[in-house]
Structure 1
């Protein structure tokens, strides 16, 4: 079992771990895509919500509980890390960066959608 299945929540998450959590049907988490709307529309993780970086804190604060498990990904690990730090600084305590982002998710065989 992975760390996520055992209940440990880490600042970075591997695509395979997140995929396992989805497959096990674990509740109470949100996947956030911080890329541009255009990138999101071209393809994103199934079920991910678009919260572009420039709207991130404002929209997250009004739509997500601060203690909710949040997995965040962007165009790069640097963008994901920056967005995760922004959320943590805004009081969100359980934020994890999806290492490798959308491309790592696709490589792991994760489910995707296009708008």
Structure 2
């Protein structure tokens, strides 16, 4: 018996609803980077990590707002109704999810950047520190040189 097919695949309508729903709640580093490069405005990127993590490197243009401070400071940092994208360390961390929940509780439209800072860096995207903006080598399994996933 197939391990993959142990559970029946969802019916078409259920599958469409599920995957469309995921895309309403998630974005990825490539899409965030594309919007930043294109100068797209109308949304805010929030880094919900600690000060020490932020100092090690963050997405250029992101706003530092640790999760524990969102309820108190969000209104002063992000205009009401502005779409928010949150991120934390990476897929092994649910900090971006917790930050997204805090913004959702405050009534903000919100998405989480899946992969977080880990995948941002692994894709070789720019990282900002106090010393300036740098690019680290991309992980060839995440962003092979000269090849784009073109998704």
In which range does the TM-score fall when normalised by the shorter chain?
A: 0.7 to 0.9
2:100 to 84, 89, 105: 84
CA distance in 2, matches of 1:104, 1:66: 29
Matched residue of 2:81: which SS?
coil
In the alignment, the residues of structure 2 paired with residue 105 and residue 95 of structure 1 have an alpha-carbon distance, to the nearest angstrom, of 19
Q: How far is 1:12 from its partner?
A: 0.6
RMSD over equivalenced CA pairs, Å: 1.5
Q: How far is 1:20 from its partner?
A: 1.0
Aligned residue-pair number: 106
Deviations 1:66-102 (A, max 9, x none): 221211111244111111011101111x211010100
What TM-score do the two structures reach when normalised by structure 2? Answer: 0.65
TM-score by length of 1: 0.84
Contact 2:90 2:118 survives alignment (8 Å): no
Cα distance in 2 for partners of 1:58, 1:76 equals 25
Partner of residue 61, structure 1: 75
Judge conservation of contact 2:86–2:112 (CA < 8 Å) in 1. Answer: yes
**CA drift at 1:109:** 2.6
Higher relative contact order (CA 8 A, sep 6+): 1
**What's the CA shift string for 1:17-72, capped at 9, x where partnerless?**
11111122111221111100000001000011110111112111222122212111
Runs (5+) with no aligned partner, structure 2: 1-22, 131-151
